Each structure stands twice: as C-alpha cells, then as structure tokens.
A = this chain, B = another copy of it.
C-alpha cells in the first residue's frame, strides 16, 4: 500500500508548521535581538517564509488530497479532527484571491506607518483616508471569506483568530456583561474609597533583580526552562517554536509591578504551548485551539492565580527580598491592594481587570458595525467617545487616548478584539471548575506550588490542543457552555467580597 492522501496531507502541513516555527523564532529575534540594520532583510525573510507556506497550502493538489482523505473512514479521532482542521485552514488560505491579499497587506502597512505618526499627534484626520482604504478592503476580504465559510463577513474575520467563533454567541455574553459592569464598578470604587490606599514600593528596582524575581516565579508556576527562555522586548509576548517557548517582558526601573505581571501573564501562555501534546506538534490539530483559550490560559495564571491574595501571601516575601524592600509597602495585603486597584481610564492596555472588558466591548461593537457597513471611518471618533462615556463614564482628552490608541484596526486585525474578554470569561469559568475539581489547587497556589493547577489545565485544556471545538472543550471541562457568570462571581468575590477583605481560606507561608 502506498502513502494515503491523509498521510500526504500530514507531510504538507508538517512542512508548513516547521517553516512557521522558523518564522516564529525569526520574529522573536526581530523583537529581542536584531540590530536595526537587520530590519529590511528580516522583513524579506519573513515574507518569503509566508509566501512558501501560502504556496504549499494553496497548491491545487491539497484540495484534491482533502477530498480523497475525507472519504477515508479508517482514521482515528485525532486524525479525523486533524483532517477537519486541515480543511479549515485550507478554506481560509484559498478563500481570498492573491491580488486582494496583497492589496490588503499593502494598505495595512501604509496605514500603520501613518498611524505611528497620527497617534502621538492625536490627529485622526491624518490617518482617516488610509484607514478608510483598509476598512474598504477588510470588507471585501471579509465578504470573500464569508462566502467560502458560510457565515457573516464579521464572523469570517473573527474565525481566523477564533475558529468557529460567531457574533451571535458573543453578543449576549457581552451585552450581559455591559449591563452588569457600570453598577458593579460604582460599588467597587465606593468600597475602594473606604479602604486604605495602597502604598507604592519605592524604587529604583534594578533590571537584573526584576529579571531574577521573574525567573523565580516562572519556575514556581511551572515554566520549563529546558524548553524556553525569558527575554526583553518593547511589548511583552509569547512566541517561539516546538520545544522552545520564548516569553518576553519590558522592565521599568521605577516600577516592578507591571513587568512582573507581564512575566506571569506570558508564562500562562507558555504553559499552554509547553503542554500541547507531543504526538501532534507539527499538525493543525496539535496547535492551540483559539485566541480566546490562549488568553484564558494567560489570565488564569496572571489574573485568577497570581493576583489572588493566596498567591501574594507566597510571593510578597520573595518580592520584598528581591529588592531588599521593608515596611508597609511590601506586605501581602498592600501588594494585593496594588494588584487589584480599580481605576477607570481611557487606555485599554493600562486597564484593570474590572474595566478592561468595557474597552473590549466598545471596540467589538464598533468594528462589527464598521464591517457590516453600518458605520464609516469618519463616524469613528464620535461613536468611540459616546461609547466609552456610556460604559465607563469618561471622555478621552483627544483621539490619541481615544480611537487612535490601538494598532489593531490600522494594522488590519479586525475581529481580534473580542477574544480578550472571551478569554477573561473563559479563564474565570475554567479556574472555578479547576478549584471545584481539585481542592488542592488553591492551597498549592498559596505555597507557590502550581502542580495541581497545571495538571488540571494539561488534562482539560493544553493536552487537547485542537482536538475539540472551543465550546466542546469548555463544556467538557466545566460542565456547561461559556457564560459570564463565573467571571462576574469572581469579580464580586475579589472586589466586593471575601478576597477584598483580605480573608483567605488557604494556608499561608510563614
């Protein structure tokens, strides 16, 4: 017997995955190591790899092999799921003709360049024409994909980041949260005003001490340093390749708190990558399931576990020790107050856990309307300001801290935003289920021992890779489809309930 169609497909997708890994390491290098003179060459290298992968996926033979493989009834469940993922990737790769792909890529590059100047100048008019061109091509792009995938244009864009994700599922989740937030936020702020204000630890905090502390906490969380690294980049990210997962952070010698939480956030992403099943590492079914699930893994570590009072009981002495800190700023209670401080503001990336979803819901509403043709670029500043006022009761000083603040639309990443808050909701629901399933998890976190949590995540999330759809994975892990209830419960407990009182049930380290 010769090589089956399915096996030949595995070879094609394996090569693509290997080359994607190569590209991912080159991208990491670009962000962490590359001298400025390498930029033009690196862009060429990455583009060449992308073209080769695209050529491999869109080769007419792949469509034929898929049809042949789909008649193969001898495949096991992982193989069958892999075949479905192959079809899905092939649909995306072949949905848009290359002229439009290139036009969109050029329009977004041009727009991003203008945006880099327009944002600090808070000059929306300067970038509006370029953004208009991007939007118009994004609509064309979305329509082409929609036709192929059999969904709405917005859903077709969302589907690249969140396979199977649909606005009709997201709308009720987000609208319910939007209804919950304003009143909840008011209560949190009122209560916070009555409690002592957090004391800021005084620096400077040397980079090397921050780095060592980050490495110490990464090790506690379970990062495998034989298969990964920690480095520095302008924006923290998690990248790398099979067996080689690389996270980054950015240090500020006046404030260690952000870099440290960024390390823990990216460590959550890294645990997902490091926990993907060995046997499927170079196949589509072996990849992380969706952006929302990826974000849920970073937020379980950062928000659910590491901003908890339990974890900070463990971490506070290590943090104080790292910087030879003494006094009231370095207690678990004070660090907890710092790390759960709620402060509505105009900037998404500076937002706390409570107000962050409002930023996302606003962007989700707006991008959906723009892709649907219900709104144009010129309407954006006014709609933005009205929306942020409705959700958070504030008005940006200018468009620089309003609709110009994020790169996503200018860079062509339409349909990405909702995955942040879907991730936060998923994190809360998974974490609640994990705590319910293993009563050892929380006491472990309080001792800086994440083994029980990691084991649950590996069994219920990481080890499944893309074997199940996102909804099926969540239902299997938590007993029900994704809803906002665990997230709201967690917010209530942390910001209005027990955790806010500093009452923790788990053991403390001495």
A456-489 vs B: 1/0 string, CB under 8 Å?
0000000000000000000000000000000000
Which residue of chain B has its CB nearest to the CB of A274?
A: B37
A23-52 vs B: 1/0 string, CB under 8 Å?
001100100011111111110110011001
Q: Does B29 lie within 8 Å of A45, measured CB to CB?
A: no
Contacts of A39 in B (CB 8 A): 243
Residue A241 interfacial (CB < 8 Å)? yes
Q: Does A243 lie within 8 Å of B21, measured CB to CB?
A: no
Which residue of chain B has its CB nearest to the CB of A49?
A: B22
Which residue of chain B has its CB nearest to the CB of A243?
A: B37
Q: Does A35 lie within 8 Å of B225, measured CB to CB?
A: yes
Q: Does A45 lie within 8 Å of B33, measured CB to CB?
A: no
Query: Bound complex: CA of A241 vs CA of B19, how far in Å?
Result: 18
A219-247 vs B: 1/0 string, CB under 8 Å?
00000111111000000000011111000
Contacts of A26 in B (CB 8 A): 22, 25-26
Q: Does B38 lie within 8 Å of A243, measured CB to CB?
A: yes
Which residue of chain B has its CB nearest to the CB of A281?
A: B41
Residue A15 interfacial (CB < 8 Å)? yes
Which residue of chain B has its CB nearest to the CB of A48?
A: B18
Q: Does A244 lie within 8 Å of B21, measured CB to CB?
A: no
Task: Specify which of B19, B33, B48 is in contact with A33 (CB 8 Å cutoff).
Answer: B33
With A29-B25, A243-B40 as known contacts, state yes or no: A18 contacts B35, CB within 8 Å: no
Contacts of A36 in B (CB 8 A): 226-227
Shortest distance from the beta carbon of A102 to any chain B beta carbon, whole Å: 16
Shortest distance from the beta carbon of A202 to any chain B beta carbon, whole Å: 28
Which residue of chain B has its CB nearest to the CB of A46?
A: B22
Q: Does B41 lie within 8 Å of A244, measured CB to CB?
A: yes
Interface size class of A (residues with CB under 8 A): 35 or more
Residues facing B in A32-81 (CB within 8 A) are 33-42, 44-45, 48-49, 52
Contacts of A33 in B (CB 8 A): 33, 229
Which residue of chain B has its CB nearest to the CB of A242?
A: B41
Query: Bound complex: CA of A259 vs CA of B365, how far in Å?
Result: 59
Q: Does B224 lie within 8 Å of A37, measured CB to CB?
A: yes
Shortest distance from the beta carbon of A413 to any chain B beta carbon, whole Å: 24
Query: Bound complex: CA of A102 vs CA of B240, how far in Å?
Result: 29
Q: Does A228 lie within 8 Å of B25, measured CB to CB?
A: no
**Which interface residue of A38, A39, A242 has the most chain B CB atoms within 10 A?**
A38
Q: Does A241 lie within 8 Å of B45, measured CB to CB?
A: yes
Query: Bound complex: CA of A485 vs CA of B242, how far in Å?
Result: 54
A1-30 vs B: 1/0 string, CB under 8 Å?
000000000000001001101100110010
Contacts of A42 in B (CB 8 A): 25, 241, 244
Query: Bound complex: CA of A228 vs CA of B41, how far in Å?
Result: 13
Task: Specify which of B45, B227, B228, B229 is in contact with A21 (CB 8 Å cutoff).
Answer: B45
Which residue of chain B has its CB nearest to the CB of A224?
A: B37
Query: Bound complex: CA of A226 vs CA of B242, how far in Å?
Result: 31
Query: Bound complex: CA of A19 vs CA of B53, how far in Å?
Result: 13
Q: Does A244 lie within 8 Å of B35, measured CB to CB?
A: yes
Which residue of chain B has its CB nearest to the CB of A19?
A: B48
Which residue of chain B has its CB nearest to the CB of A231?
A: B33
Q: Does B18 lie within 8 Å of A228, measured CB to CB?
A: no
With A25-B26, A26-B25, A45-B25 as known contacts, state yes or no: A35 contacts B228, CB within 8 Å: yes
With A44-B18, A48-B18 as known contacts, state yes or no: A244 contacts B25, CB within 8 Å: no
Shortest distance from the beta carbon of A32 to any chain B beta carbon, whole Å: 9
Contacts of A282 in B (CB 8 A): 44
Shortest distance from the beta carbon of A384 to any chain B beta carbon, whole Å: 39
Shortest distance from the beta carbon of A28 to any chain B beta carbon, whole Å: 9
Shortest distance from the beta carbon of A286 to any chain B beta carbon, whole Å: 13
Shortest distance from the beta carbon of A299 to any chain B beta carbon, whole Å: 25
Query: Bound complex: CA of A282 vs CA of B40, how far in Å?
Result: 12
Nearest 7 pairs between A and B by C-beta? Answer: A38-B244, A37-B227, A37-B243, A22-B45, A41-B242, A18-B48, A18-B44
Contacts A19-B45, A37-B224, A41-B242 known; list 9 others, CB within 8 Å.
A19-B48, A22-B26, A25-B42, A35-B225, A35-B229, A35-B243, A37-B244, A38-B241, A40-B243
21 A-B contacts (beta carbon < 8 Å): A15-B48, A18-B41, A19-B48, A22-B26, A22-B48, A25-B45, A33-B229, A35-B225, A35-B226, A35-B228, A35-B229, A35-B243, A37-B228, A38-B227, A38-B240, A38-B241, A38-B243, A38-B244, A41-B241, A41-B243, A44-B282
